[in-house]
Amino acid sequence: MAEAEVGDDVFGDDPTVNRLQERAAEVTDKEAALYTVTGTMANQTALRTFVRHGHEVVAEATAHVITVEKNSAASLSGITYRPVPGERGVMEPGQIAEALRPDPLDVRVVDLVAVENTHQVGGGAILPLETLQGIRRVTREAGLPLYMDGARIWNAAVASGVPVRDYAAEVDALMFCFSKGLGAPIGSILCGPAAFITEARRNRLQLTGAWRQAGVIAAAALVALEEGPKRLHEDHHNARRLAEGVAEVVPGGLKPEDVETNIVFVDPTPLGMTATEAADRLRGEGVLVTIVAGKVRMLTHVDVSTSDVETAIEAWRRIASEA
């Protein structure tokens, strides 16, 4: 990062940012890419580019774009949603076809279908390629674009054995994060057709997302993109071990077999405590967790070792013994 060659990305002349965007476009087999501060900014830039003011996006009911970003979409771009309940965050093609049935009054209009892979609230669930292909057929028949919030698409690719470019081939555009499993300190990227990215760059600027000498952090993202995927299987192994260990002390709190990637959700109610109470007690044991969808959420990543996993399991044992 200290040695990064920099320019001004507003003018498109930061060579490190440009290399990152070119490489991201290459690995996803898209024409162009756009570096953003966060995954939410990438999503909101994409939605603003795809969706007209006052129109709707079809997405799974617990998707990040709905649960976390709906206020941003409404206030920034006048976008609303048509939620579809999925199984662990995965929508089926038939559900989407039903959601796309025209409004008889021609008032509610859908401009976009969005999917999430892996699905965070679904516990890091992978969207199967065959399901995505079925969804793609539905959106083509409806004449609508398909967008992927692929914040953790590299986790999905490593766990499933499906290359990222194969997932990307089924969508018009996608984003992924460098700051999730890939291990960079900051940044996400939006990939798609050249004309789409040109318009997205304008929209990113409207969303106050202009960079100056962004090559300093793009340098870290380049390293993460090349090196991060090689070790994601370690995170998945650690997550499964964590799930198995916690399941032993919180019977009924989770199903280890549902842990496909690097996210572990635990319902602590079998211990007679809420997620907030469990998080507070774990903090007292030196283990930090977050609360998502009313459950304790734990993630494995480059900074979590096998030893850290055992420490977390022991912390759960202690709070369970005190419950």
Which pLDDT value is given to residue 108?
Answer: 87
Measured CA to CA, the distance from residue 136 to residue 151 in angstroms comes to 19
219 in the same domain as 122:
yes
Strand-pair partners of 112: 57
**In this structure, are residues 74 and 56 in contact, taking their beta carbons and an 8 Å threshold?**
no
Model confidence pLDDT, tens digit, residues 118-158: 999 999 999 999 999 999 999 999 999 999 999 999 999 99
Four-point Cα dihedral 50, 56, 60, 65, nearest 10: 60
Chain-centroid distance, C-alpha 153: 7
User: Is 56 inside any structural domain?
Assistant: yes
Which pLDDT value is given to residue 105?
Answer: 83
* Full domain range(s) for residue 135: 9-229
297 in the same domain as 248:
yes
Model confidence pLDDT, tens digit, residues 195-238: 999 999 999 999 999 899 999 999 999 999 999 999 999 999 99
CA angle 317, 320, 323 (to 5 degrees): 155
Four-point Cα dihedral 172, 16, 65, 74, nearest 10: -100
Low-confidence ranges of the chain (pLDDT < 70): none
189 in the same domain as 73:
yes
User: Is 275 inside any structural domain?
Assistant: yes
